[in-house]
Structure 1
Amino acid sequence: MSRIRGIEAKILKLQKEVQKQQLKRNGINEEDKKNREDALCSKDDPEKEQITELVHKLPKLDKIFQVHRKIGEGTFSSVYLGSLRQHSDLPDAQKRWFAIKHLVPTAHPARIEHELRCLQDMGGTHNVIGVELCLRHLDTIVFVMPYIPHKKFSEYVGDMNAEEVARYMHALLVALRHVHSFGVIHRDVKPSNFLYDRENRRYLLVDFGLAQRVCAAPEPPPAHSQSTAKRLREEDTDASPGAKRVALDLSMGARAHSVPVSRRIDAIKQHALKQSLPKSAGAGAGVLLKSPRQGTALDTWAAGVVLASVLTARYPFFRASDDVSALAELADLLGTEPIQRVAASLGRRVVVSGKRGGICLRKLARRLRGVPPTPPTHAAQSAPAALSAPAPLSAPAALSALNCSRCRLPQLQCLCATQAQPVSCIKRSFFNNTDPEEIVVADFPDSAFSLAMRLLDPDPRTRLSAHDALRHPFLRHLPH
């Protein structure tokens, strides 16, 4: 017996030597090949280990589904692509695909229950994600939901025409109107949570992990019971991980506190010249001012930020690292007086180093999209002005006529809202309606910018609701 084993060992050794010689003749080093294979395996190992651990903790999941790969990850959950085991022999095109959301074990049970109830009560219709199945074993919980193929928002944000944008915003507002009709605020509306299948024109509003009810009933506990770490999403990791929101005490009691915006941020204008814009600052002035009275207007503000991103072909649109910077960026965009007015209505006060009149969203979109400005035509002048020859201008007068009196930039580079409109009237000063020049940005009509302006109204009391936004001229031609 020992003789036979010795012969087998010699044969195995000889086979290895032959393989090594063949690799050497082909110019392949065996050790390098092994290192490459090990590196490839180590890259996939963490994800495979997570899937293996998940199905080990939840055997029922493994019996029903094949878990293929991870398709999303956040602080409070991981999402995997899955298919039915009984369909394993079918071609991929004929399989039914699912998004399997695994919630972290430290999530509060009441928060998980609230999210599940939202999916059960509201989901499956009006572009809102539903739930097919919920599986639990001890502290391991998964939601099995429908899956639609989709791309990242950044891949098509600058490639949508006016009609596609209208359909996209219509679908988003239909979903929000449906959610709001249940007295629920989504509180996390952003492109990565609104999935868009461009080929089949399908849409899904997802992730109700932060949703809460509008009523004064006790709210679900925080989404994470042991940590308040900032959530990182697949498309929202531009800010540094260590960046945290600064809590601002702006109450106007016996001793009033104020927030000086000492570090003026010309974010919009400076970033426009650099061809990059900042990311969403959250959900509007009411939230940044620490108002506890949150309503559904929170979601429509976020929808306005999404629309502004599409119109300017820039995502993210805002990128403030803290609340003070976010307020400064909003003051640049909307003007300081509207922000201060909203603060006063909430019992807060914002002190700024200088007044800002806001900027023209159409001019900003034109600049960022690289659309060359069209100089004013003589046809736009009045008849008497056209007939009378202008007197020669001195050098300073000519310079004043060519440059904006606010930003001192040439008129064709100016982003300021028109001076003919009062600064306090955000609905008029947000974009310039009185210029003789007709500003054309791609094929977007004025109604698209008007809708963005109404959704970005800093006052939640006058901001358009999802229901009213669907009746706006930009979306009126689509079914309500």
Structure 2
Amino acid sequence: MAKARAALQRTAEAMPIHRDEDMEEDAEQTLDESADPLEESGRTADSDEEIEESVAEDIARFEESFSGINKRYRLINRIGEGTFSTVYKAEDLEYNNFNNSWDIDEHSNRKWASPGQRRRTSKRPHYVAIKKIYVTSSPGRILNELDLLHDLKNSEEVCPLITAFRHMDQVVAVLPYFQHRDFREYYRDMRISDMRLYFKSLFIALKSVHAKHILHRDIKPTNFLYNPEQARGVLVDFGLAEREGTDWHQCDCTLPSEERRSRIAHSHYAQTQQAGHQVSAYPKNDVRSSRRANRAGTRGFRAPEVLLKCTQQNTSIDMWSAGVILLTLLSRRFPFFHSADDIDALLEITTIFGRKKMKETSLLHGQIFETNIPSYSENGHSLEKIILWCTSRSGKDSTGAKIELEDDEKEAVEFLYRLLECDPTKRITAEEALRHPFITKAFEDEDGTSDVDIDFVG
């Protein structure tokens, strides 16, 4: 692994990176735009599953372009495609020649095996996931992903990096293969008790990642490989991840409230409001430099501060994305948000939280939010009402009583409010989430006592 990192570092240093400051920001965003959840594939491929002809041709091209890969791995099927990479299921042909501390399933099998069986070399095939990173990715991006994976190798519920190879301009990362199901196959059928288990596993992973001050930046169902039968998931794809504090510039959200209010009071926006303008005016010749911030991620899962170009984003952006997943499960709608761009995304959030909340959130980051679309109410709608609408339960029942959420759903919604908090400083953390009643019930046995220590190692 050290050799691979050193080689990638040399490649990154040797390759000049040219930046055009006048490049359109939309083009810049495209480079960090993860694939739409509906366009991604994310499922388990069985070994005996029939391979499509196009996939077989793709595998053949990969083996031909990456010299020697077929001597160490037998590629079986393509199991995932994204914006920046393709993932293949493969058999590890040299499994018994190396230390395989990453193999959770093998350790579990040996735990319950007899002493004689433990001493024997494992004969069953062992599978890995080979991630082919596209050559369009910059050397710096590739190095960053491998470096972060290396740092997270002992983190719970996080997919560890086994090794990495480079051949010419091709880079592959070898990761454990995890049995999982496509989110689209089970999200409509999940009960509240199932959701508790799902998010317990997800927040264990996020607690481990955030403890190392790493932002995943692309939390969504296809990046959390979950096995409902085992109630176990693993967080994958750190292609857009970054360390907290990377390229930070001061944002108003980090200022003391008194200083922030003073800035707002003396802003051009406040002056136009005092002059009686109903709609904010814009300077004819704006000499201010454009505001740039990392907006990497997937449409529909970005937190408000990402859309508002906060320049000091932290791990709380991942918690908002987790909240969108919970909203998806409770509403039975996937994807819940389906915006075309950042403006549409802000308006979708406004539909729920209302214009007042979005104005407050925007001012928090030194931005102005204005819309004259009459369908957006001032105070928005409650999440309870949204979920009842989405699940066709609005109105009254046969007795004339107003239909309400079940008690366990109400608890889930209370937790959802903590995740979908527009102010990132008030949003619940992964560590706090694991101590929330909605999650702690997943740890409780039938007697109602907790038999699991939830103070996990980060």
**Bucket of the pairwise TM-score, normalised by the shorter protein:** 0.5 to 0.7
2:56 corresponds in structure 1 to: 48
Q: SS at the partner of 1:350?
A: coil
Q: SS at the partner of 1:333?
A: helix
1:303 corresponds in structure 2 to: 322
Residue number among 313, 316, 320 corresponding to 2:339 in the alignment: 320
2:75 corresponds in structure 1 to: 67
- Would you say 1:118 and 2:148 are equivalent positions? yes
2:224 corresponds in structure 1 to: 194
2:368 corresponds in structure 1 to: 349
- 1:194-236 deviation per Cα after TM superposition (whole angstroms, max 9, x unaligned): 00112222211000000011124689xxxxxxxxxxxxxxxxx
- Would you say 1:330 and 2:349 are equivalent positions? yes
Worse-matched range after superposition: 368-377 or 78-87: 368-377
Structure 2: gaps (5+ residues): 1-50, 96-122, 250-265, 274-278, 281-297, 444-451
1:367 corresponds in structure 2 to: 389
- 1:26-59 deviation per Cα after TM superposition (whole angstroms, max 9, x unaligned): xxxxxxxxxxxxxxxxx94432232122222323
Q: SS at the partner of 2:389?
A: helix
Q: SS at the partner of 1:82?
A: strand
1:137 Cα offset (Å): 1.2
1:395 corresponds in structure 2 to: none
Q: Look up the equivalent residue of 2:84 and give its one-letter code.
A: F
TM-score normalised by length of structure 1: 0.63
CA gap 1:121/1:358 in 2 versus in 1, 3 angstroms: same
Residue number among 419, 423, 437 corresponding to 1:473 in the alignment: 437
Q: What is the CA–CA distance in structure 1 between the aligned matches of 2:439 and 2:85, rounded to whole Å?
A: 35
Q: SS at the partner of 2:76?
A: strand
CA gap 1:282/1:292 in 2 versus in 1, 3 angstroms: farther
1:455 corresponds in structure 2 to: 419
Q: What is the CA–CA distance in structure 1 between the aligned matches of 2:171 and 2:215, rounded to whole Å?
A: 24
Q: What is the CA–CA distance in structure 2 between the aligned matches of 1:172 and 1:307, rounded to whole Å?
A: 11
Q: What is the CA–CA distance in structure 2 between the aligned matches of 1:456 and 1:76, rounded to whole Å?
A: 28
1:254 Cα offset (Å): 5.1
Q: Look up the equivalent residue of 2:304 and give its one-letter code.
A: A
Q: What is the CA–CA distance in structure 1 between the aligned matches of 2:299 and 2:189, rounded to whole Å?
A: 20
1:382 corresponds in structure 2 to: none
1:303 Cα offset (Å): 0.4
Mapped contact 1:98–1:145 kept (Cα < 8 A): yes
1:100 Cα offset (Å): 0.6
2:169 corresponds in structure 1 to: 139
Count of matched residue positions in the alignment of Structure 1 and Structure 2: 328
- 1:72-119 deviation per Cα after TM superposition (whole angstroms, max 9, x unaligned): 1122111111012368xxxxx942111110011121112111111111
Residue number among 416, 439, 461 corresponding to 2:404 in the alignment: 439
Residue number among 267, 286, 290 corresponding to 2:309 in the alignment: 290
Q: Look up the equivalent residue of 2:143 and give its one-letter code.
A: E
Residue number among 196, 207, 210 corresponding to 1:180 in the alignment: 210
Mapped contact 1:161–1:444 kept (Cα < 8 A): no
- 1:259-303 deviation per Cα after TM superposition (whole angstroms, max 9, x unaligned): x89xxxxxxxxxxxxxxxxx9523221111122221111000000
Q: What is the CA–CA distance in structure 2 between the aligned matches of 1:105 and 1:322, rounded to whole Å?
A: 26
1:426 corresponds in structure 2 to: none
Q: What is the CA–CA distance in structure 2 between the aligned matches of 1:254 and 1:366, rounded to whole Å?
A: 42
- Would you say 1:339 and 2:303 are equivalent positions? no
* Alignment map for 1:34-433 (pairs within 5 Å): 44-85=52-93, 94-216=124-246, 281-353=300-372, 354=374, 355-371=377-393, 374=396
Q: SS at the partner of 2:370?
A: strand
**Cα RMSD (Å):** 3.1
The structure whose Rg is larger is 1
CA gap 1:48/1:329 in 2 versus in 1, 3 angstroms: same
CA gap 1:446/1:254 in 2 versus in 1, 3 angstroms: closer
Q: What is the CA–CA distance in structure 1 between the aligned matches of 2:229 and 2:364, rounded to whole Å?
A: 45
Q: Look up the equivalent residue of 1:304 and give its one-letter code.
A: G
Q: What is the CA–CA distance in structure 2 between the aligned matches of 1:47 and 1:109, rounded to whole Å?
A: 27
Q: What is the CA–CA distance in structure 2 between the aligned matches of 1:316 and 1:102, rounded to whole Å?
A: 27
Q: What is the CA–CA distance in structure 2 between the aligned matches of 1:196 and 1:44, rounded to whole Å?
A: 25
Question: Identity over aligned residues, as a percent?
Answer: 33
Mapped contact 1:373–1:439 kept (Cα < 8 A): no
Q: What is the CA–CA distance in structure 1 between the aligned matches of 2:131 and 2:302, rounded to whole Å?
A: 25
Q: What is the CA–CA distance in structure 2 between the aligned matches of 1:349 and 1:376, rounded to whole Å?
A: 46
Q: What is the CA–CA distance in structure 2 between the aligned matches of 1:345 and 1:371, rounded to whole Å?
A: 36
Q: SS at the partner of 1:156?
A: helix
CA gap 1:298/1:48 in 2 versus in 1, 3 angstroms: same
Q: What is the CA–CA distance in structure 2 between the aligned matches of 1:218 and 1:450, rounded to whole Å?
A: 32
Q: What is the CA–CA distance in structure 2 between the aligned matches of 1:159 and 1:95, rounded to whole Å?
A: 33
Q: SS at the partner of 1:59?
A: coil
Mapped contact 2:299–2:340 kept (Cα < 8 A): no
Structure 1: gaps (5+ residues): 1-42, 88-92, 220-251, 262-278, 378-411, 413-435
TM-score normalised by length of structure 2: 0.65
2:108 corresponds in structure 1 to: none
CA gap 1:374/1:218 in 2 versus in 1, 3 angstroms: closer
Mapped contact 2:205–2:235 kept (Cα < 8 A): yes
CA gap 1:159/1:94 in 2 versus in 1, 3 angstroms: farther
1:175 Cα offset (Å): 0.8
Q: What is the CA–CA distance in structure 2 between the aligned matches of 1:360 and 1:342, rounded to whole Å?
A: 17
